[in-house]
Chains A and B, each alone.
Chain A
Amino acid sequence: MNALRDILSQGAQMSLVLGLAPLLTGFVRKVKARLLRRRGPPLLQPYRDLIRLMRKDVVLADNASWLFRVIPYLIFAGTWVAASLVPTFGNGLLFSWTADLIAITALLGSARFFQALAGMDVGTAFGGIGSSREVMIASLAEPAMLITVFSVAMIAGSTQLSSVAEFMGSDAVGLRVSLGMAFVALTIVALAENARIPVDNPATHLELTMVHEAMVLEYSGRHLALIELSSQLKLLLYVSLIACVFLPWGTATADAGVARLVFGALLYFGKLAVLGFLLAVFETSIAKMRVFRIPEFLGAALMLALLATLLRFVSGSL
């Protein structure tokens, strides 16, 4: 009975993130448009775009290798699994016991590795530029992410997200400086990982300035749909991660009843909306960085995460 319940809960969360991811992207776009005094596309537009892309034929470059065709599925699979490891409305996920925060980082890292390969596969100049920039960003974002994970894990005593979330929701956590630093570091990493302003601009048409978009320029049809959906999943993953670690209130525990689960879900939607709104406001109020400023920006995240870990070492209460 318990096993069935766990499977159902995990299944519900997996389909929830998949179904919700385009909505979050649509919501952020809508808020950004309103902030610019535009009406903006409808909230459901990302779903329509995905359906449209799914229906379209794939146009492949003559020299595209098998890797180019396989990679969208790999990216999608990796990102979806990673996203389903993050507790959304309820803790005690079945998968939590097999994969932890480090596994999430590794899954996303592999997805990015394949993405960078695909960018170079066809051999266009833009793909190469995008891949080289992406890898430059990754070389700083991933260590920052890992050290943030370590500092959180040291505080919570576990790298498993369900346990972390449970600990963060309890009274044992208190007010900690190192957590504040980890929060800022994770936010910076999230901005970089999701190709948001100030690191990248998801809405630009200028090939020469692109990072993520440059790598996927050659994709079309269902391949592009999968990659788009993966990016949307990744955004949802990071927002959920921040919500689960730093705003853990109201998340249903493993043995909660239906009412608690529904309450947890409603609260989760609220958290997504608030964080999505903040993201839109932040993106509207800042210009994009020069490419060679990004290492400084991410370096700050790395240092903050490192400092958080050190502080935790020096004093158990910080």
Chain B
Amino acid sequence: MGILDSIPHVHAVPSHRPWPRAVVTEAGWQAAIDRLVEGGLTLLGFWGEPTAVHMAMIDGGSAEIAVVTYECTAGTFPSVAGHHPPALRLERTIHDLFGLVPTVADDLRPWLDHDVWSKSYPLSGRDASRDVRPYQFLPSEGEALHQVAVGPVHAGIIEPGHFRFTANGEHVVRLEQRLGYTHKGIESLMQGASLAAAAKLANRTSGDSAVAYAFAFARAVEAALDIEAPSRATYLRGLMAELERLANHLGDIGAICNDASFALMHAQTGILRERCLRAANVAFGHRLMMDVIAPGGVTRDIAPDGVAALCTLLAEIDKVFPRLIELYDNTASLQDRTVTTGIVKTEYARQFGAGGYVGRASGRNFDARRMLAYAPYDRLSFEVPVLEAGDVNARVWIRIREVEQSVALIAQILDMMTPGEIMSALPAACGECEGLAVTEAFRGDVLIWLKLGQELRVERCHLRDASWFQWPLLEAAIEGNIIADFPLCNKSFNCSYSGADL
């Protein structure tokens, strides 16, 4: 109990697995915030229940995780965001969903609640209403400044989100995001759902990360029930996770170049991405591999011709991809766009605990597959690329290196996989238990926390996408850049709207 040793707490909760959770007093809560502020711990998640708030933290050095809980007896809790900005959007979300009030909050504007819900504070379990007030964007003052409002409906086929730029000519002075347009109420649908229904919901939180979410959800359930998936199932899960990463990274590399109007790369990587999806379809019966991973293991084994399809895929990527890297590296006009554009400072990446390529391109050496070494990654060998530059170019290169790693990982898994069971039996019933799991999606770490009640029903489930800690960095990265470079920066982040809007 390393982390909790230094945080005064009332008692630890025994049914929380695999990492400890402890109920703390105001002093303990404050001590946890202090540790986050000084940088010893990184905020991993922050979520609510009708009468409590939870905060998950990770020790960057030892990879230890702990959850602290503050009981909101008076419907309030000491604000975290007031001291530690990365918690801001999560704190506003807690207020929107549960009506719990952070005390001495600088910013209590709604986040997910756009005043169109049929009731306020939908998860609080009580009837209450909030005042409808027009949303105030943060002010920027100056004579030559003008505002450019983009979205929520965009010209391309992308998700909705509103971006409010304040610019001085072409130079961006401030960008403020307004998200929440794809809010689907996943956390309220989760309440009382059976495991099968909940797994389906988790799968669909963010379509491009279907496998990562299903993986995290299954692991959270397995942690709560204290069971383990069979060895073959973990290999299949790893196989699908890497296939998903491969498809998304390939798509992203091309899409970033396309936003610099270099359509050639987009066309080429588009072909490779399509091959990945088709191979996934052959091997697992679904292009995005939805609903294959389930609590306890996987629902279906790889198809008989799946291994051959994957081998063909790997051979093609091995053949074509090096040429595409060369094309990227040798096109000076493209490099001119990506190098030094949209720099994320190393200290921001660390403070926000930015996962995935956003963090790793800015020197934050964190990959849940390596740091938390969950199955099957504890048995596989791979490298985690890290760069310091923090610009669009670095984020492209992290993706390129990760594509190479994923190809190697798929080959390893195909090699190591042995026949066997693919599903462990779940207990028919359980007492109240809680599980926490973190998996590495292509854009960063996904955290799922859940509480199971009688008859294996989900009492409360929180899903935290990597984008929660990446979106705010995009606001910082674009400052001082020109408006015309925003699409390029945005694509190099490729944050999830759906995953963060829940």
A204 touches B261 (CB 8 A): yes
Known pairs A285-B264, A291-B482; A208 contacts B150 (CB<8 A): yes
The contact of A208 among B334, B336, B486, by CB within 8 Å, is: B486
Q: Which of A35, A125, A287 sits near B331, CB closer than 8 Å?
A: A287
B262 on the A face (CB < 8 A):
yes
- What per-residue 1/0 map shows which CB atoms of A33-57 lie under 8 Å from chain B? 0011110000000000000000000
Q: Which residue of B lies closest to A210 (CB)?
A: B484
* Cα of A197 to Cα of B147 in the assembled complex, Å: 27
- Tell me if A209 and B487 are in contact (CB < 8 A): yes
B226 at the interface (CB under 8 A from A): no
B292 to chain A, nearest CB (A): 31
The reply on B407 being an interface residue by CB < 8 A is no
B256 to chain A, nearest CB (A): 11
**A288 touches B (CB below 8 Å):** yes
Q: When each residue 131-151 of chain B gets 1 if its CB lies under 8 Å from chain A and 0 otherwise, what string results?
A: 000000000000000111110
Residues on B with beta carbons closer than 8 Å to the beta carbon of A35: 264
Q: B271 contacts which of A37, A129, A286 (Cβ < 8 Å)?
A: A37
**Highest count of chain A CB atoms <10 Å: which of B268, B484, B487:** B484
Cβ-defined contact, B336 with A293, below 8 A? yes
Contact between chains at A291 and B257 (CB < 8 Å): no
Task: Decide if A290 touches B263 in the complex (CB within 8 Å).
Answer: no
Interface set, chain A 244-289, CB cutoff 8 A to B: 284-289
Which residues does chain B contribute within 8 Å of A206, judged by CB atoms?
A: 155-156, 259, 487
Q: Which of A128, A129, A209, A284 contacts B264 (CB 8 A)?
A: A284
Instruction: Please measure, in the bound complex, the distance between the C-alpha atom of A126 and the C-alpha atom of B163, giving whole angstroms.
Output: 13
Given the complex of chains A and B, what is the CA–CA distance between A207 and B262 in angstroms? Answer: 17
Given A125-B148, A209-B484, A287-B261 contact (CB < 8 Å) = yes
Interface positions of A from 174 to 226, Cβ below 8 Å from B: 197-198, 201, 203-209
Contact B267 A208 (CB under 8 A): no
Is A66 an interface residue when CB atoms closer than 8 A count as contact? no
Restricting to B380-430, which residues have a CB under 8 Å from any CB of A?
A: none
CA distance A289 to B337 in the complex (A): 7
Q: Residues of A contacting B482 with CB < 8 Å?
A: 290-292
Question: What residues of chain B lie closer than 8 Å to A286, measured between beta carbons?
Answer: 262, 331, 333
Given contacts A36-B267, A38-B267, contact A198 B333 (CB under 8 A): yes
Q: Please name all residues of chain A whose beta carbon is closer than 8 Å to the beta carbon of B333 when the two chains form the complex.
A: 198, 286-289
Contact, CB under 8 Å: B261 / A208: no
A290 touching B336 in the complex, CB below 8 Å, given contacts A125-B146, A204-B261, A206-B487: yes
Residue of B nearest to A293 (CB): B336
The answer to whether the Cβ of B170 comes within 8 Å of any Cβ in the partner chain is yes
The CB with the most chain A CB atoms within 10 A, among B150, B261, B483, is that of B261
A208 with B263: CB separation less than 8 A: no
B337: A residues at CB distance < 8 A: 287-290
Taking the complex as formed, is B485 at the interface, i.e. its CB lies under 8 A from any CB of chain A? yes
B227 in the interface, Cβ–Cβ < 8 Å? no
Q: Residue on B with the closest CB to A202?
A: B261
Q: Is the pair B336, A207 in contact by a Cβ cutoff of 8 Å?
A: no
Complex-state Cα separation, A290 to B342, whole angstroms: 13
Contacts of B264 in A (CB 8 A): 35-36, 284-285
Chain B, Cβ-Cβ closest to A213: B155
A37: B residues at CB distance < 8 A: 267-268, 271
- Asked whether, in the complex, the Cβ of B336 is within 8 Å of the Cβ of A287, the reply is yes
Residue-wise, chain A 4-46 has the 8 Å CB interface mask toward B (1 for contact) of 0000000000000000000000000000100111100000000
Assess the B336–A125 pair: CB atoms within 8 A: no
The tally of residues in B whose CB lies under 8 Å from a CB in A reads 32
Q: Interface centre among A128, A201, A288, by most B CB within 10 Å?
A: A288
Whether A288 contacts B485 by the Cβ 8 Å rule is no
0/1 string, B2-31, CB within 8 A of A gives 1: 000000000000000000000000000000
Asked if A207 and B155 sit within 8 Å, CB to CB, the answer is: yes
The reply to whether B267 and A205 contact each other, CB–CB distance below 8 Å, is no
In whole angstroms, what is the CA distance A203 to B268 when docked? Answer: 18
A208 & B484 in contact (Cβ 8 Å cutoff): yes
At the interface, yes or no: B375 with Cβ under 8 Å from chain A? no
The one of A38, A208, A287 that contacts B483, using a Cβ cutoff of 8 Å: A208
- Chain B residues, Cβ within 8 Å of A205: 154-156
With A287-B331, A289-B333 as contacts: A197 and B261 at CB distance below 8 Å? yes
How many angstroms from the CA of A132 to the CA of B271 in the assembled complex?
Answer: 38
Q: Which chain B residue lies CB-closest to A36?
A: B267
Q: In the complex the two chains form, what is the Cα distance from A209 to B336 in whole Å?
A: 16
What is the bound-complex CA distance between A36 and B327, given in angstroms?
14
User: When chains A and B are docked, how far (Å) is the Cα of A290 from the Cα of B267?
Assistant: 22
The answer to whether A125 touches B149, judged by C-beta atoms less than 8 angstroms apart, is yes
| CB contact list, A119-157 vs B, under 8 A | 125-126, 128-129, 132
Query: Contact at B170–A208, with CB atoms within 8 Å?
Result: no
Bound: A290/B146 CA distance, A: 21
Task: Tell me whether A288 and B260 are in contact in the complex, defined as CB-CB below 8 angstroms, given that A36-B267, A37-B267, A209-B484 are known contacts.
Answer: yes
B80-126, CB < 8 A from A: none
A290 neighbours in B (Cβ, 8 Å): 336-337, 482, 484-485
By beta carbon, the residue of chain A nearest B260 is A287
**For the complex, what is the distance from the CA of A316 to the CA of B263, rounded to whole Å?**
45
Tell me the chain B residues, 265-294 only, with Cβ under 8 Å from chain A.
266-268, 271
Given A35-B264, A125-B149, A284-B264, is A289 in contact with B336 using a C-beta cutoff of 8 Å? yes
In the assembled complex, the Cα of A132 lies from the Cα of B331 at a distance in Å of 29
Return chain B residues, CB-CB under 8 Å to A292. Answer: 170, 482
B472 to chain A, nearest CB (A): 20
**Cα separation A246 to B484 with both chains bound (whole Å):** 35
Measured CA separation A43–B336 after assembly (Å): 34
Contacts of A203 in B (CB 8 A): 263
B170, A287: Cβ atoms closer than 8 Å: no
In the complex the two chains form, what is the Cα distance from A198 to B154 in whole Å? 23
Contact A129 B483 (CB under 8 A): yes
In angstroms, how far is the closest chain B Cβ from the Cβ of A36?
Answer: 4
Instruction: Give the residues in chain B near A201, CB-CB below 8 Å.
Output: 261
Are the C-beta atoms of A287 and B257 separated by less than 8 Å?
yes
Instruction: Please measure, in the bound complex, the distance between the C-alpha atom of A132 and the C-alpha atom of B146, giving whole angstroms.
Output: 13
**Separation of A204 and B261 alpha carbons in the complex (Å):** 8
Is the Cβ of B147 less than 8 Å from the Cβ of A125? yes
Q: Which residues of A contact B154 (CB under 8 A)?
A: 205
What are the residues of chain B within 8 A of A208 when measuring CB–CB?
148, 150, 483-484, 486-487
A290 to B266, CA, bound (A): 19
List B contacts of A38 (CB < 8 A).
267
Distance from A48 Cβ to chain B, minimum over Cβ atoms (Å): 21
User: Counting chain B CB atoms within 10 Å of each CB, which of A38, A206, A207 scores highest?
Assistant: A206
Give the chain A neighbours of B150 by CB distance below 8 A: 207-208
Q: Are B261 and A129 in contact (CB under 8 A)?
A: no
A293 to B259, CA, bound (A): 17
Say yes or no: B170 contacts A291, CB within 8 Å.
yes
A residues apposed to B, CB below 8 Å = 32, 35-38, 125-126, 128-129, 132, 197-198, 201, 203-209, 284-293
Top 7 closest A-B pairs, CB basis?
Answer: A288-B261, A36-B267, A287-B262, A205-B155, A125-B148, A287-B334, A287-B333
**What would 9 more interface pairs be, CB under 8 Å, given A125-B148, A198-B333?**
A208-B150, A209-B484, A284-B263, A285-B264, A286-B262, A287-B333, A288-B260, A288-B262, A290-B485
Can you list 18 pairs linking A and B with CB atoms under 8 Å apart? A32-B263, A36-B263, A38-B267, A125-B147, A125-B149, A129-B148, A129-B483, A205-B155, A206-B487, A207-B150, A208-B148, A208-B486, A284-B263, A288-B260, A288-B261, A288-B262, A289-B337, A290-B336
